[in-house]
Structure 1
Amino acid sequence: MAKKINIVAPRNSSKQIAPKLDLGIEADTEINGIGMGVLSDGTPYLNQRGLAALCGVMNAHIGTISSQWNEAPEKPRISAIKAILGKTGAIPGNPHIEVAHKGTVNFCYPSDVCLAVLEYYAFDAGTNCKPEARDNFRTLAGSKLRELIYSQVGYDPSGAKTHKFTKWHERIELNHQSAPKGYFHVFNEAHTIVYELIIAGADIGEEFVVDISIGQHWGKHWSDNNLEDDFGPRQKWPHRYPESHPQAKSNPQESWCYPLSALGHYREWLQSTYIDGGKFASYLKRKVSQGQLPPSFAQLAISALSAPQIGPS
């Protein structure tokens, strides 16, 4: 996804639309500069900067689409975007909805409008077509953008209670003391990664057990580098799976736990080698190919866990 654009769109006060006071923002968040949320009527949206970032254009260009939406004669760009919208549904009177939230007015672009603008910059903008828009459109076309927004803000459009953390919590209940005194277990160190995966839309359960992947790579690192010489011996400790998991048939299962003196080294390895070094991405790529995680969600999970880069502003 494109980096966050910090150029503010010009606003023509004569063409601003009054905020819809009957709508509020139910939930919102920002991921890698992509601002998104869900309105109180269930409409998923991107904010102006978020849509601009997806399209690979300056924020001002999205603002211009709004300001020119009802101008006559109609600009070619506006006609093209409206034509895209017309193929799948009604053309809105305005491309964005203004909603007052936390003391400011938010420009909220519904997901169907976002996809139409994204498609325009991907394929129909001539010399202004953007590779970022093309890549993002291929990832988010159809219902994927809507699903991504719902997932990222934790919104359930069905209105039913979702229990996305249930299976992980079942494992925690069985294994909260998964290592003897003086030792740690990879399972108890995997909470941050598992949380980000669940928030990103992964169905963490019997087939999606990321701590196994981490444990296998860490165990190889331990042996290959003779870390027992530095930190002392590791040892086996029983680990149990909930009855909902097929692995429960062989409970309890012995798994490695490691001296607490190695915990700092483990956490450095987890960030630099497993996450930033590509092993986590390879694991998610395999899960995407198995249909257990949408590609866009995998990308966001990796971005959320990658170490921030500190540099000149």
Structure 2
Amino acid sequence: MKKPLHISKLAPKSTSKEITPAQGSLSLEVEKDVGGIGMGVLSDGTPYLNQRGLAVLCGVQNAHIGTISSQWGDAEQKPRITAIKDILKKSGPVPLAAHIEIPHNGRVQYCYPADVCLAVLEYYAFDAGVNNQPEARDNFRLLAGSKLREMIYSQVGYDPNGTIPDVFKAWHDRLALNYQSAPKGFFHVFNEASTIYYELIQAGAHIDSKTVIDISIGIPWSAYWVANKLDEVYGLRQKYPHRYPDDHPQAKSNPHESWCYPLEALGRYRQWLQDDYIEGGKFSNYLIGKVKRGDLPPSVAQLAIKAMVPPQLPAK
């Protein structure tokens, strides 16, 4: 499937508060640029994209989004504006303006609330006739419903429930239990998987007892080790006691016996990880499988794959 997103906690429903172009009582709670797409959250909890970000998602020029804003309040509505407003009416009131203007750091930010973004995205995906955009269609399928709001909240690190979750907690808790558990002169896959865990967290993944990516790495790496008789090359691998935090169901069987490998094989492992696991498709297949099981949002998988898997050159 095409990866349309450049950007690569359940959001609350939209309020019925009317949106006007300039709402002086609002400010930017948090903002972030993700892959060239500006996004953030207003002080009332409204998630938004900036004008350029919405244009990229829709696969259109920035000026087209600006025209939608400028024509929003016209007495005689253009068909495009009518179609977008009809989409908005299906889920709630139509705002008085397409965007909110927020002064910030000496500039005016044009903030398009997530509901407006989805309506514009749906229009360019299915209702624009000859101007339908494949990028808009693909992105709408990824971000429909509450997914766009969830993605914005996740990317900027905002919790709509008013608490600040520690997105690194589950990973950190396992690190604290296992970072010194392999014997001297050996490495284990869990510690070597830290970069991949970090990229998943940065992409918005919720790391918990269901996301144990080191197992998805360890099983094929163990098979590769045996198939290539690497004990004869680097020395015998050993078992070490691996433990899970108490809030993981796996903790009932602590300690788990897990393989660790001679440090002399670390270079071979890292080459295998890059060539076979990441670029060879195993990483992508793992994430796709989690999406199918409902353990991972599609947008998070797309972002993680984009961050970790280099684009492939077309075959000549």
TM-score of the alignment, normalized to the shorter chain, above 0.5:
yes
Deviations 1:21-78 (A, max 9, x none): 4322222333333332111211111111211111111222112212222234322111
Partner of 2:84: 81
Is structure 2 residue 193 aligned with structure 1 residue 190?
yes
| SS of equivalent residue, structure 1 residue 88 | coil
| SS of equivalent residue, structure 1 residue 28 | strand
Give the direction of change, closer, same or farther, for the CA distance of 1:100–1:266 in structure 2 (3 Å limit): farther
Give the direction of change, closer, same or farther, for the CA distance of 1:272–1:40 in structure 2 (3 Å limit): farther
Partner of 1:48: 51
Whole-angstrom CA distance in 2 between matches of 1:99 and 1:275: 42
Contact 1:206–1:245 (Cα < 8 Å) also in 2: yes
Partner of 1:245: 248
State the TM-score, normalized to the length of structure 1.
0.85
Shift of 1:283: 0.9
Contact 1:33–1:50 (Cα < 8 Å) also in 2: yes
Shift of 1:120: 0.5
Deviations 1:240-277 (A, max 9, x none): 12222232233222211123233333333323332232
Query: What does residue range 150-229 of structure 1 map to in structure 2 within 5 Å?
Result: 150-229=153-232
Give the direction of change, closer, same or farther, for the CA distance of 1:22–1:281 in structure 2 (3 Å limit): same
Aligned CA RMSD, in angstroms, stands at: 2.5
Instruction: Give the count of matched residue pairs.
Output: 298
Whole-angstrom CA distance in 1 between matches of 2:219 and 2:74: 61
Give the direction of change, closer, same or farther, for the CA distance of 1:258–1:108 in structure 2 (3 Å limit): same
Shift of 1:298: 1.6
Is structure 2 residue 41 aligned with structure 1 residue 38?
yes
Query: What does residue range 129-140 of structure 1 map to in structure 2 within 5 Å?
Result: 129-140=132-143
Contact 1:31–1:300 (Cα < 8 Å) also in 2: no
Q: Which amino acid aligns with 2:51?
A: Q
| SS of equivalent residue, structure 2 residue 49 | strand
Partner of 2:109: 106
Contact 1:271–1:307 (Cα < 8 Å) also in 2: no
Shift of 1:157: 0.2
Whole-angstrom CA distance in 1 between matches of 2:162 and 2:229: 52
Contact 1:201–1:293 (Cα < 8 Å) also in 2: no
Partner of 1:11: none
Is structure 2 residue 307 aligned with structure 1 residue 286?
no
Partner of 1:125: 128
Whole-angstrom CA distance in 2 between matches of 1:102 and 1:181: 52
Whole-angstrom CA distance in 2 between matches of 1:152 and 1:239: 31
Q: Which amino acid aligns with 1:95?
A: A
Contact 1:202–1:292 (Cα < 8 Å) also in 2: no
Q: Which amino acid aligns with 1:54?
A: L
| SS of equivalent residue, structure 2 residue 160 | coil
| SS of equivalent residue, structure 1 residue 45 | strand
Whole-angstrom CA distance in 1 between matches of 2:262 and 2:282: 23
Shift of 1:20: 4.1
Contact 2:21–2:97 (Cα < 8 Å) also in 1: no
Structure 2 unaligned regions, length at least 5: 8-19
Partner of 1:66: 69
Shift of 1:309: 8.5
Whole-angstrom CA distance in 1 between matches of 2:277 and 2:30: 32
Contact 2:216–2:286 (Cα < 8 Å) also in 1: yes
120-129 or 265-274, which deviates more: 265-274
Deviations 1:89-138 (A, max 9, x none): 22222211222334433221110000010110011101001122112112
Whole-angstrom CA distance in 2 between matches of 1:78 and 1:165: 43
Q: Which amino acid aligns with 1:276?
A: E
Contact 1:19–1:105 (Cα < 8 Å) also in 2: no
Give the direction of change, closer, same or farther, for the CA distance of 1:160–1:293 in structure 2 (3 Å limit): same
Relative contact order, higher structure (CA 8 A, sep 6+): 2
Contact 1:27–1:39 (Cα < 8 Å) also in 2: yes
Whole-angstrom CA distance in 2 between matches of 1:103 and 1:221: 57
Contact 1:154–1:199 (Cα < 8 Å) also in 2: no
